Structure 1
Amino acid sequence: MPRTRIRQPRALIDRKALTIILEDMAAAVPDNRDRRNRLMSLLRKALADGRAEVRRRFLKEKGTGAAAFAENSYLMDQIIRLLFDFATTYIYPRANRTAGEQMSVLAVGGYGRGEMSPQSDIDLLFLLPYKSTPLHEQVVEFMLYVLWDLGLKVGHATRSVDECIRQARADTTICTALLETRFLWGNRELPLGLRDKFQTSVVAGSGADFIEAKLAERDERHARMGDSRYVLEPNIKDGKGGLRDLHTLLWIARFIYGVSEMSELVARGVLTSEAASKFMRARNFLWTVRCHLHYLTNRPEERLTFDIQPEIAQRMGYADRNGVRGVERFMKHYFLMAKTVGDLTRIFCAVLENQQKRRPGLSMTSLLARKRHLNGFRIDSGRIAAVGPDAFQKEPLALMRLFKVAHEQGMDIHPDTLRLVTESLPLVKGLRSDPAANTLFLDILCSKRDPEISLRQMSEAGFLGRFLPDFARVTAQMQFDMYHVYTTDEHTIRAIGLLHRLEDGSIRDLMPSAARELRKVLSRRALYVAVLLHDIAKGRGGDHSELGAEIALRLGPRLGLSDEETETVSWLVRHHLLMSRTAFKRDVDDLKTILDFTDVVQSVERLRLLLALTTVDILAVGPAVWNNWKSSLLRELYMRSEDLLTGGFQAEARDKRVADRREQLSLALTDWPEAERAAYLERHYPAYWLTFDGLTHIRHARVIERARAAGEAVAVEVIPDSHRSVSDVIIYTDDHPGLFSKIAGAMALAGVTIMDARITTMVDGMALDTFTIQTLDGRPIAEPERIERLARTVRGVLTGTIALARALQEQAPRLPERAHALTVPPRVLIDNQASKTHTVIEVNGRDRPGFLHAVTQALTRVGIQISSARISTYGERVVDVFYVKDVFGMKVVHKTKLAQIREALEAAITEARPRAA
């Protein structure tokens, strides 16, 4: 148990005073049932008072997690000692206990380590000399029932010394539990005997097996938790870089060296005093965070979710500073501590390996090493290693060459050598201006081998941040939203790995057009550097694209890029969000959209580079962000822009294009009577023929034909498209004000998200609306029963059989409760330059059921007609873009009207729930 001094222990619990009270009570009360009830009342009050005092000290006096853990453990120790003494003295007294009736109570698990957090379970081992006797069973049962009735979660085992040894040999979990047993009360000789037998019968000769088992267990846990210490809602106990990783180091140290604390390894020459201090600082920080987490949630919560992070940051004194939010400063500190845990693991494992491995005279590995060109390095246990402890002091350039050799050989770097790298980081400053070092770095970054592994090694060792100080500023930097999954540095390194895999074809199925066009790129080096730098200026208080472009202009020449490459990198960083914003927020069927986009891009080479950068940037955000719908939008924008840039786009006369589309549909409807076919063609305005492709024209015609034949007031047809991961919904009904808003509400009730909308009014006053939708988890609606449910909901809302406003009020929130901690400033942008024929309105706000319904309802109330919509969701933030006209079919230009629109939309965004029409 950590040696943390308990301040004023009797203010927590006075065992001596309680013992006297219990003695008096036992003498006065002969009935054991009555005794138990009075004992329960006394212990319940003592436990509640003690916990309240621990909490007061921690919160009011700004205490540490170490102190709270020690105080909670001390409090529970006294409760269990009082309980054991009362059970054995008054409930089941024995004048002379036999040797076989002796018993000890031991704390195990976190309680055994002294890590008693506010919501921890209590794990006990009732240790016996031989097999269990009736007296043992009675005492154990009495104690457990009292503890359970006190509301405590108690895990327990009752075993003899020999049973403990036998099970420890067979089960690593039990073996680990015995490592951290702590004597509480009872017979003092039994635990000593257990410790001696454990050392001779379990530990002796099995160190390598135990290390292998615990590290394999750790790796499996990391894989289960996402295998990254940089997820933005980390699990502080089981996540990578969390407390369990520190526990693993402590278990191994106890098993191999027989120590109780990592600090004891300093005297043995196993760890440096600096490494031991880092262990203590990381553990104390995580302990304090965990205490705050448990006190805030009042449950054994281990995830630092978004709703909890701001409050813990405030309680731990992280204030807003220099444009950086306090919560972001707190989480950066957390991620740096998680990185420290990784550093400690690497250092400790290197020491263990050196002490545990056998040393053959001449291995096959060393023979192979002679045939390899290692450029001044050697191979140790199959990994690249420095030739001596002063290798980097003699030649600082060897620091960079180390990563280059490891990269070329496809080998890992020995942990001892990585430790030397960390110790030699002050030398890196001199490499920044060294052309040879920059050339080696660029070679690694742009290698045909996967550069992600080497860049991650550089980052983990602290080398990358020293070599590129701008990268150090985004290391461990979080973005406080539900869209991003990783820290900025982790996102960047993942993006580079994804670019490599896109280039080698291993993920071409995710974005075939990007993979195909990437092979044609001429500025390959510029692309890789742009991916490295695209988010380099985040967190600086300004537009990170603009600031990053300036950094690129400064870094490009240093890295060895030509003037042309440097300018290309700067342009890509400046405009790295342009393609996604255009594809996801603008109508690519509007020629002005394509003209504006290509006016910025200007060349096919830049278009290809931007497509690749945009693809890997989105893919690297998180596993659930990319989908085929986004892929199709980017592909469509790319193809139309490429046509325009290469001259393939034919701006033929609008009337001729309309006539051609009408003719194509007429030929496809040969089964219709000629008069009926001609009448149908006249029912559409010219804009309709240019908005949809020929296949969609045919589908629309068939839907309308079936609806008229059946006399349906509302026709709904759902067409799944697995290639785009969406479903198209065609709705044909009488047009009226607010139709779009009602349909949006119906879609929300049906549990689907509108991605795109095309609103068409026909000459005869009918509405023909086409919506592109997905399920909330990004899939198309394909199951027949779900299609029917969606159609039934739309019909019910449009015919009035479903009370939309009431149904939306009763609908469950779309986002988890923790998302309410994330602020989304409401914003309305009105743009009359983005389209020649429409006013474009962009609405930003917090996602909620019925959000789109409320917004479109507001537009209807102010007399605005919606022609098309593009809907995007980024975590908790929704961005809706509408192409609109006024009641006369014109762009909205009057200042009074624009102000009225803005006011109505801002009111709709901030409503907690959509109101009735």
Structure 2
Amino acid sequence: MPASTPVPSARELLTQVGRSRAERTRGADERLRSLLADALTATETTASGVCVVALGGYGREELSAASDLDVLLLHDDRCPDVAAIAERLWYPLWDDRIALDHSVRTLDETLTAAAGDLRSALSLLDARHVAGDAALTIQLRTTLLAAWRRTAPRRLPELEESVRERGDRVGEIAALLEPDLKEARGGLRDGVVLRALAATWLVEVPQANAARIREGLLDVRDVLHEVCGRRPTDRLLADLQADVAAGLGLADRDALLRHVYQLGRTMSHLSDVTWRRVGRALAGRSVRRGARSRQRPGPVLTPVAPGVASVDGEVVLAPDARLGTDPMLPLRAAYAAADRGLLLAPHTADRLAGAHRPLPTPWPDEARRLFTALLGAGPDLLPVWEACDQAGLVADLVPEWDRVRCAPQYSPVHRHTVDRHLLDTCVQAARLVRWVYRPDLLLVAALLHDMGKGDGSPDHSVTGARIAARLAPRWGFDADDTATLVLLVRHHLLLADTATRRDLDDPTTIKQVAAVVRDADTLELLAALTEADARATGSAAWTPWRAALVERLVDRVRRTLERGQLPQPGPLATWQRLLAQRGGLDVVIEPREGGEVGASQLTVVAPDQMGLLATVAGVLALARLSVRSASVHTLDGMGVSIWSVSGDPPERAVLRERLTAALAGGTDLADRLAGLDAAYATSSKGRTRRRGGVGTAGAGPVGAAQNGAGADAASADGADVAAAQVRVVGGASTAATVLEVRAHDRPGLFHHVCAVLAAAGCSVRSAHVSTWADNAVDVFYLTRPEGGPLADTTAAEISRSVRKSLA
């Protein structure tokens, strides 16, 4: 007789690479049926009164290579040997090394568990019969669903709060470089919640769309679990993304993240829409109960704009809507929803996308007015724009939107994808419209400023300016307004870059900015765009220090444009001159202007000597102080350096003692800083940065991104450290040579560069430092010992020396 085919173990059935979820579920079901049949035979028990029920993901037939089996052995008093049956079920599975979430309960015990624990209730809603007495499973499901619908008004607020808490704790899929596919907002867990909401019968849930999104996320998770091997995770780790992309047939990591972000965004949108409807449904029940109404009132349709009405908290098409003949109908509906804080009904957005008439080119004035008003709606813009984007309406309004939709930003400084960052910038810009002469230009520039990202362009500002030049005339802006929008997009980094990297006391700095903006009105627009962009980027991008620098720059440029006034280097304060004339080393610690927490100004006075700045920088680095800027003055043979720092400085006497020892050669700064750098590299692994030369609190160029010229072009995991870039910035000053150093951040970097410059025999007049994540941008204004800029050959040699020392 031929040998019988061996029955595969449960582990083999679950973990075999390439098996589909249905195949894994079918294999697990067959294994459990076989085990239950053997157990019933061994215990001489009939199948009546006992059954095996699949719960949770197993109940939904969503098993991956790393899933556990969530199994309930349900029984009633007709099954006396349930303990023996359970042993014969569980032990073979444990022998197969299967992660098993098991329970043995009666029907009453199961209902009590569901009533007392929300997560258990959600898992039980997906109960599916596997083996044994099917009538018992049917009774369980019928009773559970009836109880869930009866208690939903009481339990849903708790469920909503748990969903909100989880989203706040884990984050949103489309805002994470390593998203958790299960727990993050917009992930698989939200899909489970939508199934539970549909089961309440309180609201309509787009289950087909939600199921499609879940299938897409499950496909990604399946490949992720197969790639992980023995260490399964639901988190899409950076070092696994390339392999997961290949497993899904996607081009690269960027394509994978766009795919996952789009799935998560759609799931979040469905969840938001459903929860808003749940809130209205529960509020309506409460009102009717309070009024003791016997009849439910019908929906009231309220006109809000031509062809547009509101009903039950949603904007819909009015009966007289000229769908297909009114080209401005989508804009009127979107603006009506955002202006009133209402939901643009998904079926309305779909109808508009499927039948609306395109706007003529150029747009009529009314269309442009509605569009800019929509952009200025504040936070209520976000859900309305998302509804339009999900329906396909945004691509008609902004043809370039596809290039930035769900485009990842690999800098950890950015909180969101490129498209969401553009919308957040519009939200921030809406707060500033009263301070500019043309709010419409500010809002459109906010929407367009990073539109050049998303395709690997070497300079996204240049690409974005070309896009603005194409779109602005289409939207009906005249030639002058188009030129202003192009300028704003092309130079949206100008003020932030200049404020943090240039000497604001140098007349050349102010003249160069003034030459770009040309007039005070445009300067106001650019300043507002700078602030909105920075606030939308993240907390590190708009600190009080940064805001003060930009404000100082804008004020000086405005005076130049309006009165022709150029700044002059500020003299030392009287007390600083007296301190220098006294001779000897001293230090004064003062709080920074504006009262920023953790910010100080240090004045260090010491006999002038070559390398003084490097020595002070090294002492500050060892004191864990982050330097933002430094300026140097010489008076009667004394060096007076003024430092802007963040961190907690030591006591004045302690800092003076450390500086005295270091200047006398009693401290081996180089060795101690090398040790600090080594410890820092080991502990931080290229992630959170704070060094003596620069701190993330003074983050670098606003809006710089992975495809721009900014300093935040870092790898997401910090593993790849790009070679240092050192260049002489031509024309940046007539009084000094400007050297820009871009390098991987570390505590001793600023001291190191200062030491190389001192060894080269040049003086540092001022220094300005900034970072994005793990990248530092340090700018030095260099002069000859007797004053004046360096010779070109000398500057080139010093640039090579600094670059070589950082290699």
TM-score normalised by L of structure 2: 0.81
The match for 1:174 is 120
Matched, 1:330 2:235: no
One-letter code of the match for 2:802?
L
* Structure-to-structure mapping, 1:44-443, within 5 angstroms: 47=11, 54=16, 57=17, 63=18, 67=19, 69-70=21-22, 73=25, 95-97=43-45, 104-129=51-76, 154-183=100-129, 190-200=136-146, 202-203=147-148, 205=150, 214=159, 217-226=162-171, 229-253=174-198, 256=201, 276=208, 279=210, 281-296=212-227, 299-319=231-251, 326-342=252-268, 344-345=270-271, 373-387=304-318, 392-424=323-355, 427=356, 429-430=358-359, 433-435=362-364, 438-442=367-371
2:554 to 638, 641, 644: 638
Relative to structure 1, is the Cα distance of residues 585 and 211 closer, same or farther in structure 2, using a 3 angstrom cutoff?
A: same
Partner-residue secondary structure (3-state), 1:649: coil
Change beyond 3 A, Cα 1:318–1:407: closer
- Counterpart of 1:671 in structure 2 is none
**Residue 458 in 1 paired to residue 388 in 2?**
yes
Residue in 2 that maps onto 1:532: 447
Shift, 1:620, TM fit: 0.9
Asked if the contact 1:309–1:327 (Cα under 8 Å) also holds between the matched residues in 2, the reply is yes
Checking the alignment, whether the CA contact within 8 Å between 2:307 and 2:322 is kept in structure 1 is no
- How much has 1:629 moved relative to structure 2? 0.8
SS at match of 1:613: helix
Cα RMSD, aligned residues only: 4.4
The 2-side partners of 1:428 and 1:221 are apart by 42
The yes-or-no answer on 1:800 pairing with 2:660 is no
Mapped to 1, the partners of 2:491 and 2:639 lie a distance apart of: 39
Q: What secondary structure does 1:810 align onto?
A: helix
CA shift digits 1:667-716 (9 cap, x unpaired):
xxxxxxxxxxxxxxxxxxxxxxx44553xx526755996x95xxxx6757
Query: What is aligned with 1:773?
Result: 645
In 2, Cα distance between the equivalents of 1:136 and 1:788? 78
For 1:480, what is the secondary structure of its paired residue?
Answer: coil
Shift of residue 628 of structure 1?
0.6
How far apart are residue 162 of structure 1 and its match? 0.6
Aligned to 1:616: 532
> Which residue pairs with 1:905 in the alignment?
802
Q: Which residue pairs with 1:686 in the alignment?
A: none
The aligned counterpart of 2:575 is 698
Q: Which amino acid aligns with 1:173?
A: R
Letter in 2 for 1:538: K
Task: Write the letter of the residue equivalent to 2:575.
Answer: I
Structure 1 distance, partners of 2:432, 2:75, is 62
Residues 870 and 250 of structure 1: CA distance in aligned 2, closer, same or farther (over 3 Å):
same
Deviation at 1:216, TM superposition (A): 5.5
Asked whether the 8 Å contact 1:700–1:730 carries over to 2, the reply is no
- Listed as ranges, the matches of 1:411-560 within 5 Å are 411-424=342-355, 427=356, 429-430=358-359, 433-435=362-364, 438-442=367-371, 444-445=373-374, 452-453=381-382, 454-503=384-433, 519=435, 521-540=436-455, 541-560=457-476
1:497-555 deviations in whole A, cap 9, x for unaligned? 1111234xxxxxxxxxxxxxx53x32332222222222223235253323333333333
> What SS is found at the alignment partner of 2:358?
helix
Cα pair 2:213 2:266 within 8 Å, conserved:
yes
Deviation at 1:731, TM superposition (A): 3.4
Residue 439 of structure 1: how far off its partner (Å): 3.3
Q: What secondary structure does 1:167 align onto?
A: helix
Give the secondary structure class of the aligned counterpart of 1:249: helix
Q: Which of 1 and 2 has greater Rg?
A: 1
Contact 1:293–1:308 (Cα < 8 Å) also in 2: yes
The Cα shift of 1:206 comes to: 5.2
Q: Secondary structure at the match of 1:840?
A: strand
Alpha carbons 2:113, 2:121 under 8 Å: kept = yes
Q: How many residues align?
A: 761
- Taking a change above 3 Å as real, the CA distance of residues 435 and 633 of structure 1, as seen in their structure-2 partners, is same
SS in 2 for 1:880: strand
Distance 1:350-1:16 versus aligned 2 partners, 3 A rule: farther
Distance in 1, Cα, partners of 2:280 & 2:801: 70
Contact 2:723 2:743 in 1 (8 A): yes
- 1:819 counterpart SS class: coil
Aligned counterpart in structure 2 of residue 826 of structure 1, from 703, 724, 731: 724
Question: Per-residue deviation at 1:436?
Answer: 5.9
Aligned match of 1:723: 595
How far apart are the structure 2 equivalents of 1:535 and 1:389? Answer: 39
Deviation at 1:639, TM superposition (A): 1.6
SS in 2 for 1:392: coil
Alignment partner for residue 885 of structure 1, among 783, 797, 807?
A: 783
Q: CA deviation at 1:469?
A: 0.2
Partners in 1 of 2:294 and 2:590 — Cα distance? 72
State the 1:612 CA deviation: 0.6
Counterpart contact for 1:445–1:451, Cα < 8 Å: no
More helix by share: 1
Contact 2:191–2:211 (8 Å) recurs in 1: no
* Residues 383 and 192 (structure 1), Cα distance of their counterparts in 2 relative to 1, 3 Å cut: closer
Distance in 1 between the 2:764 and 2:631 partners?
9
Residue identity matched to 1:234: P
Residue 381 of structure 1: CA displacement?
Answer: 1.2
The offset of 1:339, in angstroms, is 3.3
Aligned to 2:764: 866
SS of 1:576's equivalent in the other structure is: coil
2:694 matched to which residue of 1? Answer: none
User: Alignment identity in percent?
Assistant: 27
For 1:532, the aligned partner's letter is L
Contact 1:232 1:487 (C-alpha < 8 Å) held by counterparts = no
Specify whether residues 382 and 255 from structure 1 end up closer, same or farther in structure 2 by C-alpha distance, changes over 3 A only: closer
Which amino acid in 1 is paired with 2:196? W
Instruction: Give the alignment's TM-score, normalised by structure 1.
Output: 0.72
The C-alpha deviation readout for 1:581-611, integer Å capped at 9, x for no partner, is 1111111011211122212222211211111
SS of the counterpart of 1:820?
A: coil
Distance in 2, Cα, partners of 1:77 & 1:388: 52
> Does the CA contact (< 8 Å) of 1:435 and 1:558 recur in 2?
no
Q: 1:466 to 1:699 in 2, by over 3 A?
A: same
One-letter amino acid of the structure 1 residue matched with residue 193 of structure 2:
T
Classify 1:438/1:84 alpha carbon distance in 2 versus 1 (closer, same or farther; 3 Å).
same
Report what 1:583 is aligned to: 499
CA distance in 1, matches of 2:368, 2:588: 61
How much has 1:186 moved relative to structure 2? 6.2
Change (3 A) 1:587 1:291: farther
